[in-house]
Every structure is written in C-alpha cells, then in structure tokens.
C-alpha cells in the first residue's frame, strides 16, 4: 500500500489528471457562484415591468415607444454635428436595430388612398435612453400560446431598468395613456364586435357637430337633455336601487337621420360608438350578453335595424328567415335588462318599421324613450337650406319650402340635392322638380 501511494504520488500523469479535475471542479464552482451572484445582483439592482398583449396599455406603450424612436432618430440626425462624441455614441446605441411596421390605411371619399407607416420595436431586446435613464425593452412572442380575445399569438413587452429608477415605469404608463388619448381627441371611435371583444373600425372619425343634423323642432334638444340628465344622475339611480342604464328607440322612414343623429350625439357628449348587428351570423346569446357587458367606457351602443332581426311574430320571423344569427328573442331581452345585464350603459336602437317590433322589446325598462324621426318637415327644409347656403339665402329658403309643399322628401334626399347644387341656391330651387321625381321613385321602390 505504501509503494502504491508513493507510485501514484510520483506518477506525473496521475498528478496532472487529478490537478485538471480539481481545476475543472473549481472553475465549475466559480462559474456557478458567478451566475448566482449575477442573479442576486440582478434581483437587487434591476426591476422589470411586464405588459401582456391582452392588457389595454400594451398598444399604448408600443405607440409611445414608436414616438420615442422617431424622436431619437430626428434628434440624432439634426444634432449630429453639435453633439459630443459621447452623446453620438449613446444616440447610436439606443436606436432600435429590429423594427416592426404598423400600417394604417384610409380610402377617402374621392377615391384617393392615404397610408401611414409607424415603426415600433420588433421582436427581441432593445435599449433606449429616457430622462437620463437607460431602459431595456424585451418584446417576445409565444407562438404556442394564443390570445383568446384577439386570436393572435400571445406577446409580452418587458421593460427593465435599475431598481432605483422604478418610478420611471409609472411615468411611461401615464405618458403612453395621454399620448394614446391625444390621438383620438376631438374624434369619435367606431367599434365593431370581433369575437368576444370590441375592436376599432377604421381610423377615428372627426366628431360630427350636433347642428349638422337637422331634426324637427325641439326633437334633438329633448333627446340630448334626456341623455345628459341620465349621465349626470348615476348616484340618484344607485340610491334608489334602479338599474343605471337607459334605452332609446329612434324609428321612422329611411333617410330620416337616425344614425346620423346618434353619431352627432356621440360627438356632443365626447362618447364613442359600439355598433352591433343582431343579424350577424355566429352571434349567440352568450356572446351578445358578453359584448354588452364589456363595451368600452363612455360609449353609445347602437343596435341598427332591430326589425330585421326580430319581427312582431317571433315564430314567423324564424321560419321566414329573418333570424340570421343564433340570438334568441329571450336572449336579447335578458341581455338588455336581465339579471346578468350590465349597468352604466346607454343603448340606441333604430328601426324603419316599429310596427314589426314585439311590444316586449320596447317596453319601459328596455326602451325608456321612443322618438319618431320622420320625413323632412317645413321647419327642417328651411333650416337645412339656410345651413347649406348661408343666412344671406334665408329669403330663398321660404321659396324652396313652398316649392316642396305637398310632397314627401327625406332629409337624406334633401342633403343630396343641396350637394348637387352646392354653389347656387337659385339652381337648387329651379331643380326642385328633379328632387320630387327622385323622392317619388324612391317611395315607390320602398312600397314594392
């Protein structure tokens, strides 16, 4: 045994191998210690904020980051000569190297098309410099997980900075929200249903002035006053245990301004509009109830042409093919004022044929205010004429109104007539025969 020990101790190959094993083990221990030490330092020195793609602030932060990136590029280009060497290096370091494009597309009434491209940080890690603080942006996509609401791959954006600068996250979220809201300021966002959620339809539209929709004397103001009174009396409803929701029905012939007035009312209130088609294929009772519950705040919910989905005779409507969707009549009633229906809600329904609606649908509690919007009255004709041609043509408004006496025209037909003769009030009067003929033909088509 002594000889064997001496032999192994004196053997250079064994000593070298044992030494290599020891060095390897030591390196492994050091590497593991360094990794744990780095993780400990990271936990102590760094702080992260994760934003999932299903959170509303996700798009806000991406929009804010795209604006910051654009400002960084402009500053780097405009100040390249005046910047110090250090600042130039910082500017180049924080420019994102991997970008993703978001395209907005709009087709104008004249047929022209305009597009706008926005660059946002793509997948991967990026560094940007904000208020003297370096922040890492890590945008990751999990292709194996799907966002059930949008049917898109699940994504996250993670912001990381020094723990001492954690207050910057609150500032970024606040600025992102303000920036997003400023993009829609003075505009009305139209939402349509997409699966179980509401999505903006097209670009936000310029708010329509309430004065641009001319209703009969006092009609517009009575609806506006009722809606504003409802909005300002939420506490009154709560104290008396009354469901805080309001339903309106606008009925009358086509072209009488029902939808146009709702758009103008939304602009007056600073609200958006959620448009829901009850005849949409695939719409079910559960989905309808869910959509009404999760409607965006400060929005008017619009159910257009409810007579097309449900008629007075419920069984006949289903056999005649009126029932396009899977929504049942009882499902609609429960969604409007059932146990699971939501509060703080304003619903507008429109119809051209109120006589086709089941009384259960338009009883108080589901429809609190019914308003008839008919064809153009003499008051509306004068008001619209003066609005199109100015106060200097006010005297001609009476002549134009007299020329239409005994004839039925809609406000939509009047507007089309005025657009045709937009530069000459006299020509509008001399061409009134064409307007009457078009109105009579349209009335005949409707009866047929």
Tens-digit pLDDT profile for residues 247-276 = 999 999 999 999 999 999 999 999 999 999
Say if residues 296 and 271 touch (Cβ distance below 8 Å). no
According to the model, what pLDDT value does residue 135 have? 87
Say if residues 307 and 362 touch (Cβ distance below 8 Å). no
Q: What secondary structure does DSSP assign to 231-255, as a single string? A: HTTHHHHHHTT---EEEEEEE-STT
What are the distances in angstroms from CA 164 to CA 65, 94, 161?
A: 22, 21, 8
Both tokens of 39, joined, read 């993780």
Calculate mean pLDDT across residues 383-396: 89
CA 410 to chain CA centroid, nearest Å: 32
- Using CA atoms, how far apart are residues 246 and 213, in angstroms rounded to an integer? 22
Say if residues 177 and 183 touch (Cβ distance below 8 Å). no
Interstrand relation of 369-372 and 245-251 (parallel, antiparallel or unpaired): parallel
Say if residues 157 and 137 touch (Cβ distance below 8 Å). yes
| Strand runs labelled E in 76-152 | 99-107, 113-121, 124-130, 133-146
Phi, psi of 303 (to 5 degrees): -110, 100
CATH of 205-372 among 1.10.3720.10, 3.20.20.70, 3.40.50.300, 3.40.50.2000: 3.40.50.300
pLDDT band (50, 70, 90) for residue 412: very high
- Using CA atoms, how far apart are residues 128 and 158, in angstroms rounded to an integer? 13
- Using CA atoms, how far apart are residues 306 and 332, in angstroms rounded to an integer? 11
- Using CA atoms, how far apart are residues 102 and 118, in angstroms rounded to an integer? 5
pLDDT band (50, 70, 90) for residue 283: confident
Tens-digit pLDDT profile for residues 221-248 = 999 999 999 999 999 998 988 889 999 9
pTM equals: 0.69
**Nearest residue to 284 via CA among 240, 335, 352:** 335
Say if residues 76 and 94 touch (Cβ distance below 8 Å). no
Calculate mean pLDDT across residues 46-74: 77
Domain boundaries, the chain: 2-46, 50-183, 205-372, 378-447
Both tokens of 323, joined, read 């029932």
- Three-class DSSP category at 275: strand
Asked whether the predicted pLDDT for residue 340 surpasses 70, the reply is: no
- Three-class DSSP category at 344: coil
Give percent above pLDDT 90 in the chain.
Answer: 32
Tens-digit pLDDT profile for residues 180-202 = 777 777 789 899 988 788 888 87
According to the model, what pLDDT value does residue 413 have? 93
Tens-digit pLDDT profile for residues 69-97 = 656 555 555 555 555 544 454 444 445 55
Calculate mean pLDDT across residues 290-313: 82
DSSP state at residue 374: -
């Amino acid at each position: 045994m002594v000889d064997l020990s001496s032999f192994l101790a004196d053997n250079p190959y064994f000593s070298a191998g044992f030494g290599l094993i020891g060095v390897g083990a030591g390196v492994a221990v050091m590497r593991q210690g360094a990794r744990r030490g780095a993780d400990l330092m990271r936990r102590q020195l760094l702080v992260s904020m994760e934003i999932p793609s299903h959170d509303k602030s996700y798009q806000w932060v991406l929009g804010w980051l795209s604006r910051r990136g654009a400002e960084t590029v402009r500053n780097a280009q405009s100040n390249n000569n005046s910047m110090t060497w250090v600042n130039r290096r910082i500017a180049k370091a924080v420019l994102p190297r991997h970008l993703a494009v978001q395209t907005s597309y709009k087709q104008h009434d004249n047929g022209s098309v305009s597009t706008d491209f926005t660059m946002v940080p793509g997948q991967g890690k990026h560094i940007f410099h904000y208020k003297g603080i370096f922040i890492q942006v890590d945008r990751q996509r999990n292709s194996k997980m799907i966002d059930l609401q949008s049917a898109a791959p699940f994504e996250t954006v993670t912001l990381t900075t020094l723990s001492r600068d954690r207050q910057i996250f609150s500032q970024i979220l606040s600025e992102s929200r303000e920036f997003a809201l400023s993009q829609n300021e003075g505009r009305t966002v139209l939402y349509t249903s997409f699966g179980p959620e509401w999505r903006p339809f097209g670009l936000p539209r310029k708010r329509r002035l309430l004065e641009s929709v001319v209703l009969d004397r006092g009609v517009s103001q009575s609806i506006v006053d009722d809606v504003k009174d409802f909005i300002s009396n939420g506490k009154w409803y709560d104290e008396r245990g009354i469901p805080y929701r309001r339903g309106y029905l606008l009925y009358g012939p086509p072209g009488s301004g029902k939808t146009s007035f709702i758009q103008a009312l939304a602009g007056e209130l600073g609200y958006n509009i959620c448009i829901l088609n009850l005849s949409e294929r695939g719409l079910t009772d559960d989905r309808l109830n869910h959509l009404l519950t999760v409607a965006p705040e400060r929005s008017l919910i619009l159910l257009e042409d409810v007579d097309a989905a449900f008629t007075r005779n419920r069984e006949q409507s289903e056999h005649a093919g009126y029932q396009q969707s899977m929504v049942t009549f009882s499902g609609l009633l429960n969604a409007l004022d059932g146990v699971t229906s939501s509060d703080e809600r304003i619903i507008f329904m429109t119809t051209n044929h109120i006589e086709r609606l089941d009384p259960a649908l338009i009883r108080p509690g589901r429809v609190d205010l019914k308003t008839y919007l008919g064809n153009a009255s003499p008051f509306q004709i004068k008001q619209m004429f003066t609005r199109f041609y100015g106060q200097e043509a006010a005297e001609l408004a009476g002549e134009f109104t007299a020329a239409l006496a005994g004839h039925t025209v809609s406000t939509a037909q009047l507007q089309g007539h005025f657009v045709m003769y937009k530069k000459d009030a006299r020509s509008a009067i001399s061409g009134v025969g064409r307007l009457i003929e078009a109105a009579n033909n349209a009335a005949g088509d409707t009866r047929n």
